[in-house]
Amino acid sequence: MLNIALFGPPGAGKGTQSEYLIKKYRLFYISTGDLLRKEIADKTKLGREAQNIIASGGLVSDEIIVQIIEKTITENPDSRGFLFDGFPRTYIQAYILEGLMIKLNTSLDCLISLDVPEEESVSRLLNRGKTSGRSDDNEKVIRNRLKEYNDKTLPVLEFYKDKGIYKEINGAQSIDEVKLEIRTIVKNILSKKLYNIVVFGYPGSGRGSQGIAIAKKFGLEYVATGPMLEEEIENDTETGRRIKDLYDSGQLVPDEIVVQLIEKKLEESKGIRGFIFKGYPRTLVQSYILDGLLKKHGSSISQVIEIEVPTLELIRRLDERSKTDRCMPYDTSTSKIVKRLQEHETKTVTVIEKYNQLHGVVKVDGMGNFDEVHENISAEVEEGMKSMR
């Protein structure tokens, strides 16, 4: 997710650059004024509250504004990110946005400020006034607006300078020059973001072999809990001995151990573009754990892919696998195969539904041969990675 706040005095060209950012990076535009007017027009509870305040001559409170922003973000889970225009306007609102981003498990990546000298802003707005018909495009009103902007905005800019995410651009340049500088800033931000994929699919869907192939093709680190657990046993580590004892007694390996191994993998992997997770998360609880782990390491899930294969084909594939050296413990009989498929349906489908609401899940037909399915998955990953260029 890419989240940007775009600042600049009246006449700086924020509208033009906002259009570019929205189209180029598929961001959802958040203007508090526009959102407020929509809530009022739709006669929502928040809209009615705001309308009553405005009708009595008051200012709409930060409490209402932040609820409207949170509602907008949560109602648009498929967005690649958000572009904030006109928010935060005050030092207090900067703290409000920080808290909101934490609650929504994301963060503001940068504040881009279009710096334009006062006389240039006045000149641009007076020229606009010749054709716009706007009554506020006169010099007295313009200078008052610029003074208000400077008085309120400077503390906000200092807030983000202290955080190290403030980026200033000379807004007096041409539109294309400003656009090029913005693109350079965003490209630098995206280059530091890991691309993390979770691949789902019923046992027999080919998610393991496809996950390995996709990881190799796109420079991702393949993370599968099964091989990690087996590696600990083979290396006879203290954790491996605990895992072996659990296996021998027929118990499941607790999340406590699995989380430690995944975190170790996240910390030790260097020079990669991201991770591809297979076999984890399997439960709703594990999905929250993974979200927390990635957040701790300054990252998040970028794409969720589900490989779809009809049930009868899954049973056929697993039965064939039981006759090879790739046989899994649950492949040894039809009843065990069916039980494993049912377990996926009762536990993991809920996780997929959660991710579909938050990120959107890409469905890929797994019925072709390996190369055909690989090509289809690769196309989806390639499309997803375009947002990081």
Asked if the model's pLDDT at residue 191 lies above 80, the reply is: no
Rounded Cα distance, 81 and 27, in Å: 5
Decide which of 126, 159, 191 is a domain's last residue: 191
In a domain, 67, yes or no: no
Does 229 lie in the same domain as 182?
no
Does 242 lie in the same domain as 220?
yes
Does 213 lie in the same domain as 153?
no
In a domain, 206, yes or no: yes
Question: Is the CB of residue 264 less than 8 Å from the CB of residue 248?
Answer: no
Residues 325-365 pLDDT 10s: 887 776 778 888 888 889 889 989 999 998 888 778 999 99
Q: What percent of the chain has pLDDT over 70?
A: 97
Decide which of 191, 217, 250 is a domain's last residue: 191
Rounded Cα distance, 85 and 153, in Å: 13
Backbone angles phi, psi at 78, to 5 degrees: -85, -5
Does 100 lie in the same domain as 85?
yes
Question: Is the CB of residue 202 less than 8 Å from the CB of residue 314?
Answer: yes
Lowest mean pLDDT across 17-31, 71-85, 110-124, 342-356: 71-85
| Domain containing residue 352 | 197-388
In a domain, 249, yes or no: yes
Residues 7-46 pLDDT 10s: 999 889 998 999 999 998 889 999 988 999 999 999 999 9
In a domain, 368, yes or no: yes
Instruction: Output the pTM of the full model.
Output: 0.62
Question: Is the CB of residue 338 less than 8 Å from the CB of residue 233?
Answer: no
Tokens 């377990």, located at residue: 343
User: pLDDT: is 332 or 107 the higher one?
Assistant: 107
Asked if the model's pLDDT at residue 122 lies above 80, the reply is: yes
Does 178 lie in the same domain as 84?
yes
pLDDT of res. 59: 80
Asked if the model's pLDDT at residue 276 lies above 70, the reply is: yes
In a domain, 269, yes or no: yes
Does 299 lie in the same domain as 208?
yes
Q: How confident is the model at residue 157 (pLDDT cuts 50, 70, 90)?
A: very high
Does 213 lie in the same domain as 157?
no
Does 297 lie in the same domain as 186?
no
Q: What percent of the chain has pLDDT over 90?
A: 51
Q: How many independent structural domains does the chain possess? A: 2
**Mean pLDDT of the residues in the chain:** 89
Does 180 lie in the same domain as 202?
no
Does 340 lie in the same domain as 275?
yes
In a domain, 72, yes or no: no
Decide which of 166, 191, 216 is a domain's last residue: 191
In a domain, 42, yes or no: no
Helix residue spans in the chain (DSSP H): 14-25, 32-41, 45-55, 62-74, 91-103, 118-132, 139-163, 175-191, 207-218, 225-234, 238-248, 255-268, 284-296, 311-321, 334-343, 349-358, 370-385
CA angle 311, 315, 318 (to 5 degrees): 135
Q: How confident is the model at residue 76 (pLDDT cuts 50, 70, 90)?
A: confident
Asked if the model's pLDDT at residue 132 lies above 70, the reply is: no
Report the CATH number that the domain containing residue 173 is assigned in CATH: 3.40.50.300
For the beta carbon of residue 99, count every other beta carbon within 10 angstroms: 10
Rounded Cα distance, 370 and 379, in Å: 14
Asked if the model's pLDDT at residue 152 lies above 70, the reply is: yes
In a domain, 107, yes or no: yes
Tokens 């989806």, located at residue: 380
Does 209 lie in the same domain as 152?
no
Does 143 lie in the same domain as 247?
no
